[in-house]
């Protein structure tokens, strides 16, 4: 499932905020990120990032035939859609945090002790 990343955000920061860690696989041609669903290595959600898009799939198990880098990935389904919604929510929250902090609140004029007590 492909999830477009908002242009003002960094896709790597979005996936890290959503709880993903980078996969260090020396055989892989490009970096990827994953989030495990239990204590084992599989099942896991797996992400590749390319040209402003997050490509999400669910790896149920490791490839069952030797010499292959192919995986048993699910790109659709209820679990993948729920995870995509969770990532989209993390993206919206990150955008809100990043851009709401740019607005500075109005600074009230400081008053002395008598000003606070008597409103002068």
| Both tokens assigned to 82 | 């729920």
27 confidence band (pLDDT: 50, 70, 90): confident
Query: For residue 100, what pLDDT is reported?
Result: 73
In the predicted model, what is the mean pLDDT of the chain? 85
| Interatomic CA distance for residues 6 and 12, integer angstroms | 12
Query: For residue 113, what pLDDT is reported?
Result: 82
Q: Quick check: 4 pLDDT over 90?
A: yes
Phi-psi region of 36 (alpha: psi -120 to 50; beta: other; left: phi over 0): beta
Q: By C-alpha distance, which of 40, 41, 8, 10 is closest to 25? A: 41
106 confidence band (pLDDT: 50, 70, 90): low
């Amino acid at each position: 499932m492909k999830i477009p990343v908002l242009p003002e955000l960094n896709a790597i920061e979005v996936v890290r905020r959503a709880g993903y860690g980078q996969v260090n696989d020396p055989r892989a041609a490009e970096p990827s990120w994953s989030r495990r669903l239990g204590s084992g290595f599989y099942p896991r959600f797996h992400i590749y990032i390319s040209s402003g898009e997050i490509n999400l799939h669910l790896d149920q198990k490791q490839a069952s035939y030797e010499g292959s880098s192919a995986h048993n990935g699910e790109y659709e389904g209820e679990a993948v859609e729920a995870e995509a919604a969770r990532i989209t929510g993390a993206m919206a929250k990150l955008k809100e945090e990043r851009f709401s902090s740019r607005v500075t609140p109005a600074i009230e004029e400081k008053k002395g002790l008598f000003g606070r007590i008597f409103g002068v």
